[in-house]
Amino acid sequence: SSCVRAHAAGILNAMDPSAFDELAFFRAVAESGARALLIGRRALVLLGLPVLTADYDFWIAVDDISVFNSAAAPFGLAPTHDAEAARRRGRYALENDEHVDVLVARAVPTTDGVSVQFADIWQRRQAVTLAPDTDVQLPALDDLILTKRFGSRPKDVEDIRLLTILKSESKP
């Protein structure tokens, strides 16, 4: 009946994916000049690993908050804290129907006490090309493993296992 079709159409419309253009977002971040590293599970996805995630995680240079936020603004992503508060807290988020967690610290300790320095990770970064004009900066594999040691959640342990396998397979 038409009532059933209308109900089904409503469900399908409610399930439509966000209009968020991930490629354009990554391009805007790259073009902004912000020193921004994609970390978390989205980085694993870009490396071809079979994990799911619903958000984005970046670690950015402490001096690049405004530049990063400006790159995200055209996508309707609004910061949860101003730059000064974000620096004090060491993190903030950009939000609309998408969610971007932003780590903003010069160094972060792992759960076992290793101090991971942004400047060091940035020097060893790797670019993943998504399109001819779009690269996303990721930590090198060893450094991405270190960032997964910031937490001790079961999914972090699984991610470390997958990254270790990827690392062993990429050695000649």
CB 37 within 8 A of CB 121: yes
Backbone angles phi and psi of 116, in degrees to 5: -100, 120
Q: Which helix (H) or strand (E) holds 61?
A: none
pLDDT digits (tens, 9 = 90+) for 66-111: 999 999 999 999 999 999 999 999 999 999 999 999 999 999 999 9
pLDDT digits (tens, 9 = 90+) for 10-24: 444 444 555 789 999
CB 58 within 8 A of CB 30: no
Tokens of 5: 């079709």
End-to-end alpha carbon distance in the chain: 62
Task: Provide the whole-model pTM.
Answer: 0.87
In this prediction, residue 152 carries a pLDDT of 80
